[in-house]
Amino acid sequence: MKAILFLLGGTLAALAFLYSVKKFFATPERIFFFTLEVETGDLDRVVEELKGDLTRNGLGVVGVFRLSEDYVLVISCDVPWKGELLKKLPSLSSLIPCPVAVYRREGKVYLSAPKEIYFVQKHREELGQDLADVLTRTYQALRITMAEVATR
């Protein structure tokens, strides 16, 4: 009887743990987007610093779109190989050029960009190893740039 109660208790504890992970940590925002809170939250300053750092780090800026008072979309990753990528997989136009959202929510400013890893894994054969690697390195540089802006 003790063994059955122990097994039942362990099963309930495991289910509670899995539920909490799914509810609090495995949200679609956390799975599909890289998001950082900016330490000093002036949205316009963050946009200007982001544009400058993206250009300095070789990612370039394709365009900046103010969608509302609290939301700016910075389109980056003006990379020379984007034509090759889009020719192979036009559906990845949501990744290249890279969209970076700069937004204010509840008085805080955030930077957010999609995570490329799921798309790269899914389409590695179609992309080829070289293009998959360069796409991953580009997004690594993007995340580093975002982190530099967020912690300044």
Ordered by where they begin, the domains of the chain are 32-151 (3.30.310.70)
d(C-alpha 59, C-alpha 56), whole Å: 8
What value does the mean pLDDT take over residues 43-59?
Answer: 96
Task: Give Rg (Cα) of the chain.
Answer: 20
d(C-alpha 82, C-alpha 2), whole Å: 63
Q: Any idea what DSSP says for residue 106?
A: T
For residue 27, what pLDDT is reported? 73
| CA nearest to 109, candidates 48, 14, 39 | 39
Q: Residue 119: is its pLDDT beyond 80? A: yes
Helix (H) / strand (E) element for 85: namely helix 82-88
Give CA angle at 31 (50, 112), nearest 5°. Answer: 15
Q: Residue 41: is its pLDDT beyond 80? A: no
CB-CB contact of 126 with 86 (8 Å): no
Give CA angle at 62 (119, 53), nearest 5°. Answer: 90
Q: Helices H, strands E: what count in the chain? A: 7, 5
Confidence of residue 30 (pLDDT cuts 50, 70, 90): confident
The tens digit of pLDDT for each residue in 78-107 reads 888 888 888 988 988 888 899 999 999 999
